[in-house]
Structure 1
Amino acid sequence: GGRECVLCAVGSYAGYVGAVECSLCPNISTTTFGTGTNSSSGCVCELGHEGNGGADPSGCLPCAEGFFKDKAQIGNCTACPRLTTSPIGSDALNDCTCVSNALLVEGECACEEGWN
């Protein structure tokens, strides 16, 4: 029987013509934008991780406390809004919650009485 060509799955790539199998992106925290990626430079940081992705196996690290990243891409995590924080590796703005001694007032965090 004949062999068929199949797109590499998300999180893998085939970097040359005639590749027999797809290679996994080098770090558990890297992925690809979709199927059919043809280079390790197409490996990007997953949600909740920042760094340069690509062939660097240590290229993606979890977002620090107080930061989040809601897109799979190369680049930095985004800081949570004023008076909010989030757990390490957060992947959504909704992960940012009011810091201690702050209350949610009309959609924003504000310091409790006696705090500033």
Structure 2
Amino acid sequence: MKTFIILGAINAFLSVALGAFGAHGLEKTVEPKYMEIWKTGVTYQMFHATGLLIIGMLLSKFPTSSLLTWSGWLMLIGIILFSGSLYVLTLTKVGVLGAITPFGGVSFLVAWMLIVIAAVKLF
């Protein structure tokens, strides 16, 4: 449980830092199309950082839930694959990196569904 709270807080911190870097460091050097891609990465990272915090809190109540634990790891994988690929795409403009992004999106979807299943089973 503590692990996901820490990971959530670190990712929330990184999301704010990367958002600020995008707004102040990249704004004049990156095309608007790529700035939107960067912003999407930041937004999804923050949403799922919050998800990690929620999972950490739920695990404090249900510490043996493998569904919640898997959900947390999948959210972290999703952040790395989804947001990470968008950040790298923005900085390198290598379009093939966009092929990685959907794997992160699927990780997010599965993570949220595991929370739904856990809620049905645990509450």
Which one has a larger percent strand, Structure 1 or Structure 2? 1
Which one has a larger percent helix, Structure 1 or Structure 2? 2
